[in-house]
């Protein structure tokens, strides 16, 4: 068979498998992320069907997936919400980082992965899944609960912390010297702070530049701008994902709704490709070696999220049940943990780290929603929708 036919057949198989997984996730009422990972593990290296011809294409699609994930994350927030959110939970946000980064970092050191990969795994265990939490809030009808602003503000804090962390990790992955790493990180922080404060003041400049009454014009302009800014950011080692995040922050006001409806289908497609690519690269044969460590760190970081949520909710005078709900909601890890682990793929211990991260996210993406539902054990709740 010629190459292009093989390419289409491979790609079609992978995307169709993702379709089946998404359908299954809908049926089970869970996040599709763990199922995409499983599909990738099953198909790729060491799996059932090797994906060779289309691997380059899928890798490129995965890169776009990260860009879309971060662009849509940026669209979720306006610059003002970011500033307010971070201020309102600063102490809890820092506690969250310390309590959830440290177990991952320590696990990396114990497994002898080396300092830099351990920093990556600390990042993996730190960030909660904004996507899973947002879906849980809607499904469980918790938007009206007293603790919800606390939960969402902690997520805002984490997302912003991640935007600062990604360039740091990117530089570390390149193995640069300490001085050049410090320079890049300083530059990244400066750029992020300047852009967010500019956007907070100037309103919807990007929106009025990019948007047009034709959807076609708007989509092409926004996508082009995102790639351009992402490329420039990558060029100065700030990471394309952070560039895309900043473009998303820059679009605000009335344009957000349009941007979201234009981009959601693309995000869904390429993010799924990204998760499956991560699974493809991970050898399922490595999982048994790291499974025990993944389970142990999952228990620790599950409890530490509950502790952070409990404490943050108590500070604003929320009752016991509400504190428990706050903590349980934050347990889920998902898309951004994989984004962080994906950055480490090029490193020497990348394989082991990928297997560890995939196992960890599989556990947390499934157990997070279960924890949230358990925390809600009380009188029947009527959701009319």
Partner 1 sequence: MPRIEESALPGVGIRYEFNTEDGRRIGVVHHRTGRRELFMCEPDDTDAAVVNMSLSEEESHALSEALGGSTVVANLANLQQQVEGLAIDWLMIDERSPYANRTIGDARIRTRSGVSVVAVLRGAQAFPAPGPDFAIQAGDTLVVVGTPEGIEQTQEILRTG
262 binds partner 1 (CB under 8 A): no
Exactly one of 180, 254, 296, 348 binds partner 1 (CB under 8 A); that residue is: 254
Smallest separation (angstroms) from partner 1 to the CB of 232 = 26
Nearer to partner 1 by C-beta: 77 or 121? 77
Termini Cα distance of the chain: 51
Which span (101-109, 111-119, 223-231, 252-260) binds partner 1, by CB under 8 A? 252-260
Smallest separation (angstroms) from partner 1 to the CB of 158 = 11
134 binds partner 1 (CB under 8 A): yes
Nearer to partner 1 by C-beta: 119 or 313? 313
Exactly one of 47, 108, 250, 322 binds partner 1 (CB under 8 A); that residue is: 322
The 8-class DSSP code of residue 344 comes to G
342 binds partner 1 (CB under 8 A): no
Q: How far is CA 106 from each of CA 31, 116, 240, 331, rounded to the nearest angstrom?
A: 28, 12, 28, 19
147 binds partner 1 (CB under 8 A): yes
Which span (8-16, 90-98, 151-159, 270-278) binds partner 1, by CB under 8 A? 151-159
Smallest separation (angstroms) from partner 1 to the CB of 139 = 11
Nearer to partner 1 by C-beta: 82 or 172? 82
Place of tokens 């390429």: 270
What span, in angstroms and rounded, lies between the C-alpha atoms of 196 and 188? Answer: 12
* 255 touches 211 (CB < 8 A): yes
* 23 touches 261 (CB < 8 A): no
Which span (54-62, 73-81, 93-101, 187-195) binds partner 1, by CB under 8 A? 73-81
305 binds partner 1 (CB under 8 A): no
Looking at residues 2 to 61 of the shown chain, list those that interact with partner 1 (rule: CB under 8 A): none
What span, in angstroms and rounded, lies between the C-alpha atoms of 262 and 264? Answer: 6
145 binds partner 1 (CB under 8 A): yes
Cα-Cα-Cα-Cα dihedral of 34, 36, 42, 44, to 10°?
Answer: -130
- Using DSSP's 3-state secondary structure scheme, residue 377 falls into coil
Cβ atoms within 10 Å, residue 45: 18
The two tokens of residue 366 are 């499934």
267 binds partner 1 (CB under 8 A): no
Q: How far is CA 17 from each of CA 13, 123, 271, 280, 313, rounded to the nearest angstrom?
A: 6, 29, 14, 13, 41
Binding site for partner 1 (CB under 8 A): 76-77, 81-82, 84-85, 130, 134, 137, 141-149, 152-153, 155-156, 203, 253-254, 256-257, 318-319, 321-322, 325, 378-385
């Amino acid at each position: 068979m010629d190459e292009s036919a093989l390419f289409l057949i491979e790609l079609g198989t992978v995307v169709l498998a993702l379709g089946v997984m998404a359908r299954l996730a809908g049926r089970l009422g869970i996040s599709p992320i763990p199922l995409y990972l499983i599909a990738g593990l099953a198909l790729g290296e060491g799996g059932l069907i090797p994906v060779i011809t289309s691997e380059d294409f899928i890798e490129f699609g995965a890169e776009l997936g990260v860009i879309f994930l971060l662009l849509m994350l940026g669209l979720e927030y306006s610059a003002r919400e970011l500033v307010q959110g971070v201020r309102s939970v600063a102490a809890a946000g820092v506690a969250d980082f310390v309590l959830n980064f440290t177990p991952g970092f320590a696990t990396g050191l114990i497994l002898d992965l080396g300092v830099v990969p351990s920093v990556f795994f600390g990042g993996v265990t730190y960030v909660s899944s904004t996507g899973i939490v947002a879906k849980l809030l809607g499904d469980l009808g918790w938007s009206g609960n007293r603790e919800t602003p606390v939960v969402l503000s902690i997520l805002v804090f984490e997302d912003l912390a991640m935007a600062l962390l990604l360039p740091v990790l990117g530089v570390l992955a390149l193995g640069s010297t300490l001085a050049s790493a410090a320079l890049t990180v300083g530059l990244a922080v400066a750029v992020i702070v300047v852009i967010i404060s500019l956007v907070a003041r100037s309103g919807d400049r990007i929106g009025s530049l990019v948007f047009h009454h034709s959807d076609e014009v708007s989509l092409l302009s926004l996508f082009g701008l995102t790639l351009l800014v992402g490329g420039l950011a990558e060029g100065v080692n700030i990471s394309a994902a952070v560039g895309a995040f900043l473009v998303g922050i820059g679009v605000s006001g009335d344009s957000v709704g349009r941007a979201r409806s234009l981009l959601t289908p693309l995000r869904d497609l390429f993010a799924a490709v990204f998760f499956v690519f991560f699974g493809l690269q991970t050898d399922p044969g490595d999982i048994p070696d790291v499974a025990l460590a993944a389970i142990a760190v999952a228990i620790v970081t599950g409890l530490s999220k509950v502790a952070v949520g409990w404490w943050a909710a108590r500070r604003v005078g929320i009752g016991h049940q509400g504190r428990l709900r706050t903590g349980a909601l934050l347990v889920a890890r998902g898309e951004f943990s994989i984004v962080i682990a994906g950055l480490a793929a090029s490193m020497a211990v990348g394989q082991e780290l990928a297997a560890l991260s995939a196992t960890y996210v599989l556990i947390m993406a499934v157990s997070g929603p279960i924890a949230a539902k358990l925390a809600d054990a009380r009188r029947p709740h009527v959701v009319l929708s």
